[in-house]
Structure 1
Amino acid sequence: MRRAKDGDERALQALCERHAPRVERLAKRLLDDPEDARDAAQDALAKLCVKLGQFRGEAAFSTWLHRLTVNACRDVVDRRGACRLVPLEYDARVAPEPSPAREAELAELRAGLRAGLAELPADQARVLVLKDVLGYSFRQISDASGMPVGTAKCYAHRARAGMRELLEEGAVA
């Protein structure tokens, strides 16, 4: 590690090769999509190469690399953002012939949900989407965001209560 930090290219390559399997396992554990996990692992290893000079040795190297990987996973989740949200569209098994009234109703509901999420504090909205839309566990949210599990649970509770209040008041839509 010291040789790599001092600019030895072969030592840096060996360091990346040695830690790549650990980084990939962590990314796969944090992200449900294998493609996203591969992207995050590559990002983390790229950051390792770029930011190795910033490693001060105050923590174990593996702890520092773990944080780089978690941050890379969070960046991937942030980048894909709304792309992974399942749109609220009619289900052909339930309503084989959608009516214009139903389509308008669903469009209004989608708009209300988007507006409600925009009204919530960003951290609460992010936890709500990760938990209730993407199906992440609180442990996965904690690992990806760096926040304690209890904080993630609290944010989810507050976000749900806030959305409920906004939707009931008709403040959004």
Structure 2
Amino acid sequence: MTRAKDGDPQALAALCERHAPRVERTARHVLRNEEDARDASQEALASLCTKLGQFRGDAALTTWLHRLTINACRDVAQRRLRRPWEALDEDSRVSPDPSPARAAELSELRAELREGLATLPRAQADVILLADALGYTFREISDASGMPVGTAKCYAHRGRVGLREHLGPREPTA
């Protein structure tokens, strides 16, 4: 601990490695969501690295790290609440396509997309909606959500794969 506080990067890495499993267990227990828990764990360990100089030693390191973990969990949960899930409403716009069959097909596709999005983890569905439906860039998604750009890209990829599996093969329309 002392070596880590004095700036020894190997001691800091060993400290993080030693306490990471406890941090992850606590975050999973508090958040009950694997992806949110992973995000909170990373934030807590990052806080450990950046705030190590503030540790006074009045309490055990594990007690202090537990508080950092709980705070990170709270922050992740609050970010989740600020971006509430909004169900997709039925599209009531008039189709420019005069074909009633095409209009019915599109309506069915929208319903299947809603169902497919509902089967995905919420973070993946959120990223897909922001990127594919609303045209946000991954940088904008990252800035709005607090997740790293790479995580947003990964969620988009996983979500699209999940949607493809849900929707199944499609026959091209003429």
Could you tell me the TM-score, scaled by structure 1's length? Answer: 0.49
Could you tell me the TM-score, scaled by structure 2's length? Answer: 0.48
Task: Say which structure, 1 or 2, has more relative contact order (CA 8 Å, 6+ apart).
Answer: 1
CA radius of gyration, larger in: 2
